[in-house]
């Protein structure tokens, strides 16, 4: 967390989401969905960080194949975040229909 700004941001967002869940009190399945989505985002971000660090170590100079690897790892984070946002939207719709 000390060196990765995106991980810090994601943890801050997670803490805000947990606070909102505590106030809104959705059912246990929503807590589970949010927990799984949050874990997926953090796991993808940590894997992206590891892949980028390894790629930079193995090939400090620019290499087109390394760029593809880094882009794919970053895209994995994007899709995990998109899925988490989808869970958040579904939860918001659920809470508004109560």
Quick check: 73 and 51 in contact, CB under 8 A?
yes
Cα separation of 85 and 76, whole Å? 14
Selected catalytic residue, list 4, 45, 52, 61: 45
Please report where in the chains the tokens 């606070």 appear, as a residue.
19
Residues near 43 by beta carbon (within 8 Å), at least 6 away in sequence: 80
User: Is 10 noted as a catalytic residue in this protein?
Assistant: no
Catalytic residues: 45
């Amino acid at each position: 967390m000390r060196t990765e700004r995106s991980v810090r941001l994601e943890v801050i967002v997670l803490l805000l989401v947990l606070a909102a869940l505590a106030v809104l009190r959705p059912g246990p399945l929503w807590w589970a969905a949010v927990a799984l989505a949050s874990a997926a985002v953090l796991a993808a971000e940590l894997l992206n960080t590891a892949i980028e660090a390894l790629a930079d170590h193995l090939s400090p100079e620019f290499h087109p194949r390394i760029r593809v690897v880094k882009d794919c790892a970053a895209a994995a984070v994007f899709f995990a975040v998109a899925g988490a946002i989808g869970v958040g939207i579904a939860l918001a719709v659920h809470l508004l229909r109560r």
